[in-house]
A and B are shown apart, each in its own frame.
Chain A
Amino acid sequence: MSDNVLEVRGLSIAVGGEEGDSALVRDVNFSLAEGKTVGIVGESGSGKTLTSLALMGLLSPPLKVTAGSIRLAGEELVGAPEQRLRALRGNRMAMVFQEPMTSLNPVLSIGYQLSEALMVHSGCSRKEALAKAVQLLDRVRIPKARERLRSYPHELSGGMRQRVMIAMAMMCDPKVIVADEPTTALDVTVQAEVLMLLKDLQREYRTAVVFISHDLGVIGDVCDEVMVMYRGDVVETGAVAEVLQRPRHAYTAALLAARPAFHRGAHALRLDKRTRLADLNSMMEAT
Chain B
Amino acid sequence: MPNTAAMPAPRAGAHVLEARNLVKDYKTQKSEDGSKTFRAVDGVSFNLARGQTLSIVGESGSGKSTVARMVMRLIEPTSGQVDIDGRDWLALRGSALRAARRKLQLVFQDPYSSINPRMKVHQIVSEPLRNFGLCPASQLKDRAAELLEKVGLPTAALERYPHQFSGGQRQRIVIARALASEPEIIICDEAVSALDVSIQAQILNLLRDIQAKTDVAFLFISHDLAVVQHISDEVLVMRKGQVVERGDVRSLFSAPKHEYTVKLLDSVPGQRVFS
B35 at the interface (CB under 8 A from A): no
In the complex, chain B residues whose CB is within 8 Å of the CB of A275: 230
| Min C-beta distance of B232 to chain A, whole Å | 9
Give every chain B residue within 8 A of A277 (Cβ-Cβ).
201-202, 204-205, 230
Name the segment of A29-37, A89-97, A108-116, A210-218 touching the other chain. A210-218
B152 CB to nearest A CB, Å:
10
In-complex Cβ contact of A189 among B59, B167, B233, B253 (8 A): B59
Asked whether A264 lies within 8 Å of B274 as measured between CB atoms, the reply is: no
Q: Which residues between 146 and 203 of chain A lie within 8 Å of chain B, taking CB atoms?
A: 158, 187-192, 195
Bound CA–CA A221/B267 (angstroms): 11
Residues of A within 8 Å of B204, CB to CB, are 260, 277
- How many A-B Cβ pairs are below 8 Å? 128
> What chain A residues lie within 8 Å of B229 (beta carbons)?
260, 262-263, 268, 271
Tell yes or no: A261 within 8 A of B by CB: yes
Report yes or no: A262 in contact with B198, Cβ–Cβ below 8 A.
Answer: no
Q: Which of A17-25, A69-77, A133-141, A238-246 interfaces with chain B?
A: A238-246
Question: A217 and B269: CB pair below 8 A?
Answer: yes
B250 at the interface (CB under 8 A from A): yes
Tell me whether A279 is interfacial, beta carbon within 8 Å: yes
Contact residue among A191, A241, A254, A261 (Cβ-Cβ distance under 8 Å from B267): A191
B171 to chain A, nearest CB (A): 14
Q: CA A259 – CA B264 in complex, angstroms?
A: 19
Contact status A259-B197, CB under 8 Å? yes
Would A258 and B266 count as touching, CB distance under 8 A? no
Contact with A along B34-51 (1 / 0, CB 8 A): 000000000000000000
Residues of B within 8 A of A259 (CB): 197, 201, 226
Query: Mask for A246-287, Cβ within 8 A of B = 1, else 0?
Result: 000000001100111111111111010101111111000000
Find out whether the CB atom of B254 lies under 8 angstroms from the CB atom of A269: yes
Q: Could you tell me if A264 and B226 are in contact, using CB atoms closer than 8 angstroms? A: no
User: Are B196 and A43 neighbours in the complex by a CB distance under 8 Å?
Assistant: yes
The residue that B254 contacts in the complex, of A187, A241, A264, with Cβ under 8 A, is A264
Q: How far is the CA of A136 from the CA of B49 in the complex (A)?
A: 52
Q: Which residues of B contact A264 (CB under 8 A)?
A: 253-254, 265, 271
Flag if A221 contacts B226 (CB, 8 Å).
no
Verify if A68 is at the interface (C-beta below 8 Å from B): no
Docked Cα-Cα span, A269 to B229, in Å, equals 11
Q: Are B267 and A188 in contact (CB under 8 A)?
A: yes
A189 touches B264 (CB 8 A): yes
| Chain B residues whose C-beta falls within 8 Å of the C-beta of A43 in the assembled complex | 196-198
Interface residues of B in 69-101 (CB under 8 A from A): none
Binding site for B on A (CB under 8 A): 43-44, 158, 187-192, 195, 214-221, 240-241, 244-245, 254-255, 258-269, 271, 273, 275-281
Give the 4 A-B residue pairs with the shortest CB-CB distance, closest first: A217-B270, A220-B273, A217-B269, A280-B198
